[in-house]
Structure 1
């Protein structure tokens, strides 16, 4: 009587599970995308349509000229709403303040687990908007700009990175992660186009260069 050899078949489920686990370990943290970011092609068209002007001044500017973090619903302000939109597993308290959650900052690739470490960046800074035409706006329009959640003007990022940016345009400051330059340029151009703001020649050249990374 012959001996039957034991045949061992591969275990595809285990192998597949191992592969998927490995992929999960290398995939970066999920990030929210602000609404209304134009495509590269649209951004290039919008950029070519923006008025190029000499740099304006900040004479008469203060952040108070742009009423910001307006109440949206109940106790929730624009800041809290964007924190919830851009975060993961965000838990607010009875006053709508985020007490837990995590926020991936696409500018430099860090993840923060405390809302105290997160700023809501005005992609086109308020002072930059003032220099680009907002000085002539009504206060109502400036408030709408400072709280605009309908376009790519607001995004949650690490506080220190936002503070390093300040009110600088793209010819003076870009996100530390070069892989985000394309998205950032599209957000910047989309915002300036939406609000009919001017750009400088240096700003225009920098934005073309950043769009070339798309």
Structure 2
């Protein structure tokens, strides 16, 4: 694990470098400062470029079901072919409890379209599949109401904020963590908004295991 002292990390704010599997820990504002700043890529994007949902471990439950099972506040019943019923979930974007899985979407914290524009256009198909089904960091995929997920779409924090103000600091902190994990860039407006939002939040340390 690489541990950066806050003063050292903030002073230089170098781009973070590490091999997949390396773990870094640093304050979230320094992590934001270290993200590369680039204009968003405008090449054609399709969700089909990110294969999901897959059953990577072959246990019969795909990534969507795995997230639902892990995040349930009341466990659902699991039937044949990992069909889930019952259960209860908390949607942090809108401070809402949801009964049963049908009203939920699995949100990519950094949406697939945003990921594409922030570097994934140049990734391999395997890397994009791994990103779309990332169970290696609980901040990457979360269960939220379908309404909030679809309102968010592919928007970044400059374009969309969680309707529940109490989720603001967690949302922006986790956004930076996911972008750090996957080596994604931020565009100038996105970075400015993230910096403004995080200035009102605790400068908590984030620990990230690099995915690429």
TM-score (norm: length of structure 2)? 0.79
* Superposed counterparts of 1:67-146, under 5 Å: 67-71=51-55, 72-88=57-73, 89-146=75-132
CA RMSD, Structure 1 to Structure 2 (Å): 1.5
Distance 2:107 2:200 in 1: 22
Tell whether 2:50 aligns with 1:66.
yes
1:45 deviation in Å? Answer: 1.2
Contact 1:92 1:100 in 2 (8 A): no
Q: Structure 2: where are the runs of 5+ without partners?
A: 1-23, 202-212
Distance 1:175 1:144 in 2: 26
1:64 deviation in Å? Answer: 1.0
Q: CA deviation digits over 1:82-108, x for unaligned, max 9?
A: 001111222211211211100110000
Q: Structure 1: where are the runs of 5+ without partners?
A: 1-37
1:53 deviation in Å? Answer: 0.9
Tell whether 2:160 aligns with 1:173.
yes
Return closer, same or farther for 1:179/1:213 CA change in 2, 3 Å cut-off: farther
Contact 1:90 1:100 in 2 (8 A): yes
Q: CA deviation digits over 1:124-179, x for unaligned, max 9?
A: 00010100110000000000111111121100000011000000000000101111
1:117 deviation in Å? Answer: 0.4
Secondary structure at the aligned position of 1:205 is classed as helix
Residue 54 of structure 1 aligns with which residue? Answer: 39
Secondary structure at the aligned position of 1:180 is classed as helix
Distance 1:46 1:108 in 2: 26
Contact 2:134 2:141 in 1 (8 A): yes
1:73 deviation in Å? Answer: 3.0
TM-score (norm: length of structure 1)? 0.78
Contact 1:82 1:156 in 2 (8 A): yes
Contact 1:181 1:213 in 2 (8 A): no
Distance 1:213 1:150 in 2: 29
Q: Which runs of 4+ in 1 moved over 6 A?
A: none
Tell whether 2:184 aligns with 1:200.
no
Distance 2:152 2:44 in 1: 21
* Superposed counterparts of 1:143-158, under 5 Å: 143-151=129-137, 152-158=139-145
Tell whether 2:27 aligns with 1:42.
yes
